């Protein structure tokens, strides 16, 4: 049976690990990306996502030396993203060992790039980042730096015709707030696409995961703040998911107390 995945996310500002709240520009400096990668690898996490979140803004590419250092520490799948605009960008990342790449800003202006990429590299390498922001009118929009007002579900329905392997669905409102996931958003998106979805934004404690996995059919979840700032490890969250009857991958170790 396919296991539910718990995936730590590392967000990078070009030279160090940072953490945002609500995708704000005043990101909190967290520290060293390599050390985070080592910790996660030692925990046998299911996957790791590493994103350069300012690459597009600064019109730069992901620092390949840094990415290589991170991948060297990981013996599980690694997804890389940030500033991808051309096929060569994807090739460079795959060449240093990335398993999947994330496309975001490019697909708004040029969604056909998705198929260009998947035709060459296979659709399983291509992940789309869909950032959802709920505005005062109660509607969901696609968060974008082009200042365009794009209704989220319409966009998703259109994009779904293209050939890609996975979606990372992030709630911008809940990002970094550690107050729970946007369940309504997830339930809506599940109706639109049949591609694997990784839910992100809002994880703060194990009960949030129990809620997410019992109220939706999601099979993968991503988190960051909860791992940087609280006592909870990926294992704690997997046990929470397991407690609501969903299968997870647990690597056995010596007795671990309930604390």
Q: Map the footprint of another protein across residues 127-166, applying CB under 8 A.
A: 165-166
Residues 10-69, interacting with another protein (CB under 8 A):
14-16, 26, 28-32, 34-36, 38-39, 41-44, 46, 63, 65-66, 69
Shortest Cβ 116–another protein spacing (Å): 13
Q: Could you say which of 59, 137, 147, 253 contacts another protein (CB under 8 A)?
A: 253
- Residue 2 sits in the site that holds another protein (CB under 8 A): yes
From the CB of 206, what's the least distance to another protein, in Å?
Answer: 14
Q: Which stretch binds another protein (CB under 8 A): 54-62, 135-143, 146-154, 251-259?
A: 251-259
Rounded to whole angstroms, the Cα distance separating 151 from 229 reads 33
Q: Which residues in the 79-138 window bind another protein by CB under 8 A?
A: 94-97, 99-100, 119-125
In the chain, how long is the greatest CA-to-CA distance?
52
> How big is the CA angle at 46 (ends 178 and 81), to the nearest 5 degrees?
70
> Considering beta carbons, is residue 23 or 227 the nearer one to another protein?
227
DSSP summary character for residue 111: T
Compute the least distance from the CB of residue 175 to another protein, in Å.
16
Minimum separation from the CB atom of position 242 to another protein (A): 14
Q: How far apart are CA 15 and CA 65, in angstroms?
A: 11
Q: Which one of residues 188, 206, 215, 219 is an interface residue with another protein (CB under 8 A)? A: 219
Smallest separation (angstroms) from another protein to the CB of 114: 15
CA proximity to 51, closest of 22, 9, 88, 108: 9
Give the containing element (helix H, strand E) for 141.
Answer: strand 140-142
- What one-character DSSP code corresponds to residue 3? P
Interacting residues of 155 by C-beta distance below 8 A, sequence separation 6+: 130, 142
The count of residues in the chain is 259
Q: Which is nearer to another protein, 98 or 133 (CB)?
A: 98
Interatomic CA distance for residues 200 and 215, integer angstroms? 15
């Amino acid at each position: 049976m396919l296991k539910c995945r718990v995936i730590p996310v590392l967000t990078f500002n070009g030279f160090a690990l940072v953490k945002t709240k609500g995708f704000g520009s005043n990101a909190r400096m967290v520290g060293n990306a390599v050390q985070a990668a080592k910790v996660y690898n030692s925990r046998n996490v299911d996957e790791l996502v590493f994103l350069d979140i300012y690459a597009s803004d600064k019109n730069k590419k992901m620092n390949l030396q840094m990415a290589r250092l991170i991948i060297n520490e990981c013996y599980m799948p690694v997804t890389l993203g940030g500033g991808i605009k051309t096929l060569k960008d994807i090739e460079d990342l795959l060449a240093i060992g990335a398993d999947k790449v994330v496309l975001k800003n490019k697909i708004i202006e040029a969604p056909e790039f998705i198929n260009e990429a998947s035709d060459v590299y296979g659709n399983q390498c291509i992940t789309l980042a869909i950032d959802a922001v709920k505005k005062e009118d109660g509607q969901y929009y696609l968060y974008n730096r082009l200042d365009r007002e794009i209704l989220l579900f319409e966009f998703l329905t259109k994009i779904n015709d293209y050939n890609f392997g996975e979606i990372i669905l992030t709630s911008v409102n809940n990002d970094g707030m550690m107050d729970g996931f946007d369940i309504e958003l997830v339930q809506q998106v599940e109706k639109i696409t049949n591609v694997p979805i990784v839910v992100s934004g809002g994880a703060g404690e194990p009960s949030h995961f129990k809620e997410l996995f019992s109220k939706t059919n999601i099979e993968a979840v991503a988190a960051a703040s909860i791992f940087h700032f609280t006592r909870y490890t990926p294992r704690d969250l997997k046990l929470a998911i397991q407690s609501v009857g969903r299968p997870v991958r647990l690597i056995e170790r010596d007795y671990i107390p309930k604390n």
